[in-house]
Amino acid sequence: MKHHVGEHKARKGLIRIEFDEENGVAEHVKITGDFFMHPEEAVHDLEEKLEGHRIEELEAVMDEFFAMRMDVEMPYVNVEDFKIALKKALEG
């Protein structure tokens, strides 16, 4: 099992994505940082959405999540910031 961690300093906050990789699949996904997201449970919803997907699918899953969730507000942070943190996690 490989552990991945990626951080990205967005305009207003740090985004940290952590997960384990088992046979090319993301497990134990955790998204933390000092960014603001409303509703607050959206972070947990995104973590759950990413769980169980193949590593190469994570960016598309993230895009799909934010495209479908019109209720999510993230001042000064956007989906690209999350994708940068994800890419950094995959580099390590």
Tokens describing residue 88: 């950094």
Q: How far apart are CA 84 and CA 9, in angstroms?
A: 9
Where do the structural domains in the chain lie, given as residue ranges?
Answer: 2-91
Q: Write the pLDDT tens digit of every residue in 5-20.
A: 999 999 989 999 999 9
**Which pLDDT score is estimated for 31?**
98
Note if the pTM is more than 0.85.
yes
- CATH 3.30.390.50 for the 2-91 domain, yes or no: yes
Q: How far apart are CA 11 and CA 8, in angstroms?
A: 10
